[in-house]
Amino acid sequence: MSAGRKRLEDALQVGKEIENSQNNGSTPVAAHGLPKVSSIKDLDFGDIMGVFSVHLSQNAQFLAAGCGNGAVQVYSMESGKKRRPLKHGSLYGLPVTTVKFLPYKDDKLMSTSSDGTITCWDLNGWCTLSTVDEIQNEISALDFSHDGKIFATAGKDHNVRVYDTETMQMKILFAGAEITERAVDLDVVKPESGHGRKVFGLKFHPFDDNVFLTGGWDRCLKIWDVRVDQVVRSINGPYICGDGIDIFQDDILTASWLNQNALQVWDYTSGKLIEDIPFPCHEHGEFLYVGRFLWKEVVIAGGSGTNDVKIISRNPYKVIDSIDDEGKPIQALDVLTGAQLIALGGTGTHVKLVSLST
């Protein structure tokens, strides 16, 4: 069994144990202890025009950050130092919207940009391996299948593309829907149609390499299967404006840019709403960009309403902790498998590395 698969199965086992304790009438989270913030480290990358994406390598050796000035920054956890940028930024650079280490290949990194480019980087040679251009598209999201053999992208042109990771060749194009504002308002778009607005979130199922989810401005979560040529399920409601989709077992977490009821959990099989998770806020509203499961009963989410991320227990409900970024909106988040390390970034110059303990 691979190390990555073992880590994922360990996380699922924790979720099953929590569910069993709930069925036995005990307090689910208390049986394992609430996560606690044990340390926070600030990484200052300078005048980068904001952090648009972050990702932690599975071996916990590297942090990558995609920046608003077009830079791709790398921090070495082993040395405790910033490496020289994989890509230098500039005053006229466009945001690097996604950075993702390849599954089981911590020395390879994929990035996407608002200029429509996908770049695969080699951290050993500190060089570009290959580049793909999506003409007339602004890419907002990218994710890999669990086995790493394929990845998908989505963005401004409403289309969803699936690529072969090894060859970087496009395998499938899921076309977007051409719809009017009135059509969206009247909810007359066919459920099997593609997206009719810009797509911001994309997440593969953690164990089914054929299935992934997308969401965006059309307030509709789409579930895709690469074995068929259309949407297999639609969930109306989530207004995804960032990296705000996650899956744990059969629960889907969505973090929407809405004034209220922004943090929700849905049933993967039926598409029905399971729960609205209260997200405490002031008069400015919730307005979430990012959300992740730490495990089944504990989530983390944040955005521009409260300008922080909150770690929240679902059962029993409790706000465990909150972490801000100098009062600036949070728009980038990653959680290392096992929920022991969190990276977050926003419109400022910092990335925060947060260590958790239980």
- Of 4-8, 69-73, 130-134, 264-268, the range with the lowest mean pLDDT is 4-8
Confidence of residue 7 (pLDDT cuts 50, 70, 90): very low
Residue 6: what pLDDT? 44
Domains of the chain, CATH where assigned = 34-181+190-357 (2.130.10.10)
Which residues on adjacent β-strands are paired with residue 19?
A: none
Q: What are the residues whose beta carbons fall under 8 Å from the beta carbon of 25, sequence distance 6 or more?
A: none
The pLDDT-based confidence of 312 (bands split at 50, 70, 90) is very high
Residue 30, pLDDT > 80, answer no
pLDDT tens digits, 236-279: 999 999 999 999 999 999 999 999 999 999 999 999 999 999 99
For the stretch 87-101, pLDDT in tens is 999 999 999 999 999
CA distance 12 to 58: 17
Q: Which comes out higher in pLDDT, residue 339 or 114?
A: 114
Mean pLDDT (whole number) for 125-151: 98
Q: Mention every residue, 6+ apart, whose C-beta is less than 8 A from residue 237.
A: 219, 220, 221, 254, 256, 264, 273
Q: What's the chain's average pLDDT?
A: 89
Cβ atoms of residues 53 and 45 within 8 Å? no
Separation between Cα atoms, residue 327 and residue 348, nearest integer Å: 9
3-state secondary structure of 185: helix
Neighbouring residues of 78: CB distance < 8 A, sequence distance ≥ 6 = 61
**Distance between CA 138 and CA 237 in Å, rounded?**
24
CA torsion, ordered 142, 200, 53, 269, to nearest 10 deg: -70
Here the tokens at position 26 are 């005990």
